[in-house]
Structure 1
Amino acid sequence: MRPDLRIAVVGLGAIGTKVVEALDRGIDGLVLTAVSVQNPEKHRGRLASLARPPAMLPIAALVDVADIVIECAPSHLVRSIVAPFVRAGKTAVVLSAGALLDHDDLIELAKQHGGQIVVPTGALIGLDAVTAAAVGTIHSVRMITRKPPGGLAGAPYIVANNIGIEGLTEPLRIFDGSAREAARGFPANVNVAAALSLAGIGPDRTTIEIWADPTVTRNMHRIEVDSDSARFSMSIENIPSENPKTGLITALSVIACLRKLRASLRVGT
């Protein structure tokens, strides 16, 4: 019998809360040992109600009590969360995939020390197909994202360019550029584009359009891929979570990823 893998979660927003609850209900071979949050008092009561309340620790202390850390936090915390774990030869599950584009040295750090960075499928479908196509030659990857204006409010690119999205009555294209540029301009909105670029041809060759669309109520993504092995397109309409910037399926994707860790049957690349 292998010992249970110890899991730590950073952040208890819309995603982190669902992940913690799923771990508390039970996932074979895993045990929730710790969480880290910016405001412990806000979450103390919720954690106390769990069947097996985890320890509440600062980020720096998590590596001593966990084998895997799940990052569900603001993107500026990614380095402080990931680096200690991969340096210790452990695993970091990263949801703020866009931050990896500016901290790609973390990938080399993981390689040097035998650690691993895992980016879950999240709000996209078809990353398996993109990863497979990348074994051959991918000619182009383009993504078109449409979100309700409220799901884009406050993005640095919108603020810096003084783009008005309140009161829109028709769709407005607010960005067209590379996945790297999109990740910097919309750090809380297009981690999907960063994940897509990491699976395929990189953040500078992957292109993305972003639309603020008052006619939609879901976060919509369409991906078009042309490669030497296949030409394919994918579309998904994600129901927003309590946080309009994040789809409900993102938390479910993390839970599915965790279930695969010790599953007797794994489906998908």
Structure 2
Amino acid sequence: MPEIRVAIAGLGAIGRMLARKLSAGLPGLTLACAAAGDRAKAQAFLESEGIACPIVAPSEFPARADIAVECAPSALIEDICRPMLQAGKSVIVLSCGALLPRPELLELAKARGGKVIVPTGALLGLDAVVAAAEGEIISVRMTTRKPPGGLKGAPYLEKHGISVDGLTAARRVFSGSARQAAAGFPANVNVAAALSLAGIGPDRTQIDIWADPMVTRNCHEIEVEADSARFRMSIENVPSENPKTGRIVALSVLATLRKLGAPLSVGT
């Protein structure tokens, strides 16, 4: 089979790790190009790592790549996804919370034969949720606990005047739907959007978010009640160099890319 050409949109913590892995060589995959907000900084990184990769605008992705990985600020999702989907190609989306108010991107994918892929990312058990959704899911609740610094600057906190500075005990800073959580914490809880897309939707999926000075990892617990099973799952993610993102997110994208051309596919 021909190699799958991969474009990376964003060379932050996740994008850099993917660039390194793809450049080092992964069976069936090749690094085709990248896009970055700070072109000079991105070029310096690539040169320091010895990675041969052109930096281009996202509008050039379809001519160079078969699939793009979006690991950029959520505000850029249209610029990254639309050209690829218009060309009938695929996009791995990490800022999946930004998909919720943009159903037209999914309609474009459907109309043009493109595909939006949401990896498991910092969560776990999405395959079980997807399977349960083939029957009837009664309720889904997720509780997220993060070090206060990982939540600082979230639009919801700023809008409601909620400070997470100097906390000495855990404080619940949000309780509501996944749709509300994705809008209020766009850099923090894309996991909430992913969970809602896997199951019963963003308005029925309930999320609690805690700022907890006693934790050093990004912690998520999921509780699902369905007609096929009742299950509870929890994960504690080691933060990457970006405290808002766990290290496992980049690894999840890598596993998703490997799966595209693998002779064995494990999981729903």
* Equivalence for 1:213: 212
Structure-2 residue corresponding to 1:96: 95
Amino acid at match of 2:245: T
- 1:266 and 1:70 mapped to 2: Cα distance? 20
CA RMSD of aligned residues (A): 0.9
Correspondence for 1:62: 61
**Counterpart of 1:35?**
34
Question: Residue 111 of structure 1 aligns with which residue?
Answer: 110
- Give CA-to-partner distance per residue, 1:134-193, whole Å, 9 cap, x none: 000000000000000000000000000000110000000000000000000000000000
1:197-253: per-residue Cα shift (whole Å, max 9, x none)? 000000000000000000100000000000000000000000000000000000000
Q: Is the 8 A contact 1:143 1:193 kept in 2?
A: yes
**Deviations for 1:98-121, whole angstroms, at most 9, x for unmatched residues?**
000011211111011110000000
C-alpha distance in 2 between matches for 1:191 and 1:240? 15
Structure 2: runs of 5 or more not aligned: none
* Partner residue in 2 for 1:194: 193
- CA–CA separation in structure 1 for the residues paired with 2:77 and 2:40: 23
**Identity percentage of aligned residues:** 59
Q: How many residues align structurally?
A: 268
Q: How far 1:48 moved relative to its partner?
A: 2.1
Preserved contact between residue 24 and residue 50 of structure 1 (Cα < 8 Å): no
Q: One-letter code of the match for 1:191?
A: N
SS at match of 1:55: coil
Contact residue 20 and residue 51 of structure 2 kept, 8 A = no
Kept in 2: contact 1:141–1:205 (CA 8 A): yes
Partner of 2:251: 252
Classify 1:11/1:255 alpha carbon distance in 2 versus 1 (closer, same or farther; 3 Å): same
Note the 1:236-251 alignment, pairs <5 A: 236-251=235-250
User: 1:171 & 1:108 partners in 2: Cα distance?
Assistant: 41
TM (normalized to structure 2)? 0.98
Q: Which residue of 1 aligns with 2:74?
A: 75
Contact kept? 2:6, 2:66, Cα under 8 Å: yes
Instruction: Return the alpha-carbon distance in structure 2 between the equivalents of residues 101 and 20 of structure 1.
Output: 28
Match of 1:128 in 2: 127
The one-letter code sitting in structure 2 at the alignment partner of 1:39 is D
1:49 positional shift: 4.0
Shift of 1:51: 5.0
Question: Retained in 1: the 8 A contact 2:58–2:83?
Answer: no
- Residue 122 of structure 1, CA deviation: 0.1
Question: Normalising to structure 1: TM-score of the pair?
Answer: 0.98
> What CA distance in whole angstroms lies between the structure 2 residues aligned with 1:55 and 1:15?
18
Q: Name stretches of at least 5 consecutive residues in structure 1 with no aligned partner.
A: none
